[in-house]
Amino acid sequence: MPSAPDAVNNWAKIALGVIGEGVVSLDATGIVDYMNPAAGRLLGWPHTTAVGLHVSRILPSIGAREPPADADAAALSAWLHRSTDSSTTLRVRDGSLREVQLSVAVPMDAQGAPKGLVLALRDLSQATQLMRELMHRASHDPLTGAFSREEFQRRFKRLLGDVQAGGGPHALCVIDLDQFKLVNETCGHAAGDALLKEAATLLRTLIGEDDVLARLGDDAFGLLLPQVGAHRAMQVAQQIVASIEQMRFGWGERHLAVSGSVGVAPILATAQSIDEAQIAAEAACQVAKDGGRNRVHLYAPADADVAHRHGQMRWVPRLEAALELGDFQLMFQDIVSTPSGVVDGRRLEVLMCLPDASGRLISPGEFLPAARRYGLMGRIDRWVVAQVCEWLHWRAGSGRALPELATVNLSGSSLGDAQFRNYAEELVRDLPVGASLCFEITAAEAVANLSEASEFIASMQRCGCRFALDDFGCGLSSFAYLKRLPVNYVKIDGEFVKDAASDPVNLAMVEAIHRISKVMGLATIAEQVESADVHARMGAVGVDYCQGYLFGGLRPLLSLP
C-alpha cells in the first residue's frame, strides 16, 4: 500500500495530466523533473524526453531574452518572473512562436531555501489569433478585403493632422465603378459582388505598401496616397482608369466592359475635417462622371463645376441628420378659388423647409436638388407623407375641420418604388373619415416614368387619393402624355403664369393648358400668382384655383386654424 505522500503525488499527477494548462517542474539546478501532457503539446517535447533536460533546452528563449546558463533556482526564477506580468512569446521545439501566459511558483525546503521551480503555461495562441481575426474584420470590408470606411477615416484623420502640422503632401482619390449598377441590374447582386472583388484585387496591384485602399460605399473606393503630391496622384489615377478600362468582366455567357471615374484632391491644411476633405474628392469624381465617365478630374477650389458638386454634397450629411432626427419643418401655402380669391384654409399645398443653425428656414429649392442627386428623395417622401397623415389624424381627433385638398409632392424615385407604394397605401387606408391626400408629381418626372406613374396613380386612387400634375407646360411633349396620366388636377407652370398679364404668349399657353384640361374633365391650378393683374387674367381664362404669394407666403402647418 502506497504511503500518504506517494498517494498525494499520484493524485496530483493524475490531476495535472488532465488539466488544460501546461505544468513544468524544475529542480534547484533548472533540470526538468516533471512535465504534464499539456505542456508537452504546447512546447513540442514529450515528457519522457524532456525530463532530465535543462530548462534552457525546452525554453530556448522567452521574448528576445536567452535563459541564464547554469544558473541556480533564484536566477532562473528572476529570469522567468520578468515575463509573468502579461502574455509573452515562446519559441518552441519546432521553431515556431507561441503566445503564452506564464506563471512561476517557488517551492521551499524546510530551511526556507528554494528547492526548484514550478512553471504554469497557458496557451494564448488561439485567443491571440482570434483577436487578430476580429481586429482584421473590424478594420476591413468583408467582401473586398479592402479597408473599411471606419479604418479609412482613422488613417485619413492622421494624414490630415500631419498636413495641418506642416507635413505632407498627401492626396486622396475617390474611385467609382461606372458599370456597377448595370451589372447588378442585368446579372444580379452576386455578379455585382464578384465585380467589386475583382476590382479591389486589381486596385491592390496598382498601389504601394503605404497606400490605403478602402471601400467607401456600394461601388466606390477611397485611396489615400501618403507623401504624394497632386501631379503624382493624377498619374496614379490615370493608371487606375486605364487598368479598369482593360478589365473584361465575365459572368456566365456575358462579358461586360467596365470603366471607372476618379476624383483626385490634395489633402489641404485648410480642411476643417476629414468630411470636408473627402467631399472635395467626391465632388471631383462626380464631375468626372458628368463629363462622360472613364476619366479623372482634379479638385481645385476655383473650379466652378467642382464647386457646384461640392456645394450639393455638403447637404448630404445635413439631410441625413434631419431625417434621423425629424428636423424638417412642414409648411403650407394656400390654394384659393380663383373667382373668390379668398383664403379659407380649405385647400393647401404642404411643403417642407429645413431650419439652419440660426433658425432661418431654408426653402426646399436649396436642398432638394442634392437630395435627388444623392438618392435621399425616397426617404424624404416617406417622412413627409407619414407626417402629413399624422397631422390629419390630429386635426380629426381635435375636432378641427379637415382640408378639402391637401397636396403633397412626390419625387420620381418614389413612383416606381413598390415598397413606397405599399407603405403609402397602409398610411392612407388608415386615414380618418373625410381625410384625403392629393399627391403632386411633376410633369417631367411623370413622363420619364410613364408606366410606373400610371400604375402608381391608379393604385393610390383606389385608396381614395387624388393626383395633381405639377409644373405642367414646361415641355410641349406634356400635352401628348396628359391623356395617359389619370390625374385630377393640372398645375400650370408658374413660368407661364407669373408674366401672363404682360406677355401674350405666356397667356396663350395658360389658355391652351386650361382648355385642354377642361376637355379632359380636369381642374386647373395656376402657380406663382403674385399680382392682382395676374389673378384677374386667370379669372378671365377660367382657371379654377390660384396659388402664390398674392395670397400669402409659407406658414407652419400646425398654425392652420
Lowest mean pLDDT among 136-140, 349-353, 513-517: 136-140
The answer to whether the CB of 548 falls within 8 A of the CB of 494 is: yes
C-alpha cell read off for 381: 417622401
Kindly give the pairing relationship between strand 347-355 and strand 466-472.
unpaired
**First vs last C-alpha separation in the chain:** 103
- 73 and 111 assigned to the same domain: yes
Who's near 258: CB < 8 A, 6+ residues apart?
Answer: 177, 178, 179, 195, 199, 244, 245, 247, 248, 249
DSSP for residue 31:
B
> Average pLDDT, stretch 414-429?
88
Q: What is the DSSP track for 127-177?
A: HHHHHHHHHHHHHB-TTT-SBPHHHHHHHHHHHHHHHHTT----EEEEEEE
Q: How far is CA 70 from the centre of its chain?
A: 63
Lowest mean pLDDT among 407-416, 469-478, 520-529: 469-478
Question: Residue 471 falls within a domain, yes or no?
Answer: yes
Residue 349 covered by a domain: yes
- Quote the pLDDT of residue 21: 79
How far is CA 245 from its chain centroid? 26
Count of alpha carbons within 13 Å of 425, Cβ hemisphere only? 15
**Does 83 or 121 have the greater pLDDT score?**
121
Q: Which residues pair with 408 in a beta bridge?
A: 350, 439
Instruction: Name the domain boundary from 95, 129, 163.
Output: 129
Amino acid making up residue 516? I
Whole-angstrom CA distances from 333 to 390, 420, 493, 496, 549 are 19, 25, 16, 20, 9
181 pLDDT above the threshold of 80: no
Residue 7 binned pLDDT confidence (cut-offs 50, 70, 90): very low
- 244 belongs to a structural domain: yes
- Higher-confidence residue of 145 and 543: namely 543
Predicted local confidence at residue 77, as pLDDT: 65
Q: What is the grid cell recorded at 36? A: 504534464
Q: Do 415 and 489 have their domain in common?
A: yes
Residue 61's pLDDT is: 60
474 has a pLDDT exceeding 80: no
| 204 plus 100 within the same structural domain | no
The pLDDT of residue 524 is 95
Give the separation between CA 193 and CA 198, rounded to whole angstroms. 9
Residue 213: other Cβ atoms inside 10 A: 21
pLDDT recorded at residue 15: 46
Instruction: Write down the pLDDT at residue 6.
Output: 42
Q: Which residue has the higher pLDDT, 114 or 123?
A: 123
491-502 b/e (C-beta count within 10 Å ≥ 16 → b): bbbbebbbbbbe
- Residue 91 falls inside a structural domain: yes
β-pairing, 347-355 with 329-334? antiparallel
CA distances for 201 relative to 155, 246, 256, angstroms: 21, 14, 18
Do 57 and 15 share a structural domain? yes
More confident residue, 27 or 467: 467
The rounded mean pLDDT for the chain is 81
Centre a 10 Å sphere on the Cβ of residue 161 and count the other Cβ atoms it contains: 12
In Å, what is the CA distance from 375 to each residue of 96, 179, 378, 423? 53, 17, 7, 18
Q: Has residue 320 been placed in a domain?
A: no
Is 318 inside any structural domain?
A: no
Mean local confidence (pLDDT), 14-39: 74
Q: The domain containing residue 392 runs over which residues?
A: 326-559
| Cα→Cα distances 474→478, 479, 527, Å | 8, 10, 12
What are the residues whose beta carbons fall under 8 Å from the beta carbon of 438, sequence distance 6 or more? 405, 406, 407, 408, 465, 466, 467, 468, 488, 489
Q: Is the Cβ–Cβ distance between 328 and 371 less than 8 Å?
A: no
Average pLDDT over residues 90-104: 76
272 or 558, higher pLDDT:
558
pLDDT score recorded for residue 511: 93
- What pLDDT sits at residue 102? 77
Q: What is the CATH number of the domain that holds 377?
A: 3.20.20.450
Average pLDDT of 439-459? 82
Q: Are residues 265 and 375 in the same domain?
A: no
Per-residue pLDDT at 2: 41
Last residue of a domain, one of 90, 108, 129: 129
Evaluate whether residue 134 is within a structural domain.
Answer: no
Whether 48 shows a pLDDT value over 60: the answer reads: yes
Contacts of 109 by beta carbon, 8 Å cutoff, 6+ apart: 115
Check residue 415 and give its pLDDT: 83
Task: Tell me what pLDDT residue 56 has.
Answer: 76
**pLDDT-wise least confident of 63-67, 98-102, 237-241:** 63-67
The mean pLDDT of 65-72, rounded to a whole number, is: 58
pLDDT at residue number 150 = 80
Name the most confidently modeled range: 371-375, 381-385, 481-485: 381-385
Q: What is the pLDDT of residue 193?
A: 84
CATH code at position 194? 3.30.70.270
Identify whether 514 is part of a domain: yes
User: Under a CB-based contact definition with an 8 Å cutoff, are residues 544 and 561 in contact?
Assistant: no
Q: Are residues 118 and 72 in the same domain?
A: yes
d(CA 62, CA 83): 8
Q: Give the model's pLDDT for residue 5.
A: 38
Higher per-residue confidence, 435 vs 92: 435
pLDDT band at 482 (very low <50, low <70, confident <90, very high): confident
- pLDDT score of 93: 78
Query: Do residues 469 and 540 share a domain?
Result: yes
Could you tell me if 279 and 179 lie in one domain?
yes
pLDDT digits (tens, 9 = 90+) for 484-539: 788 899 999 888 999 999 999 999 989 999 999 999 999 999 999 999 999 999 99
Same domain, 66 and 181: no
pLDDT band with cut points at 50, 70 and 90 for residue 312: low
- Domain endpoint, select from 313, 336, 357: 313
Residue 488 is predicted with a pLDDT of 92
More confident residue, 244 or 250: 244
Where residue 64 falls among pLDDT bands split at 50, 70, 90? very low
Shared domain check, 417 and 345: yes
- Give Rg (Cα) of the chain: 37
List all residues 6 or more positions away from 167 whose beta carbon is below 8 Å from its beta carbon: none
pLDDT tens per residue across span 275-299: 777 878 888 888 888 777 788 888 8
What's the number of domains the chain is made of? 3
pLDDT > 90 fraction of the chain, expressed in percent and rounded: 23
Which residue, 364, 358, 372, 371, is CA-closest to 328?
364
CATH number of the CATH domain containing 97: 3.30.450.20
Mean pLDDT of the region 135-144: 72
pTM of the predicted structure, to 2 decimals: 0.54
d(CA 469, CA 109): 99
Judgement on whether residues 429 and 544 belong to the same structural domain of the protein: yes
Give the pLDDT mean for 260-270: 85
Q: Are 155 and 206 contained in the same domain?
A: yes
116-123 β-sheet, strand order: 32-35, 22-27, 116-123, 97-105, 88-91
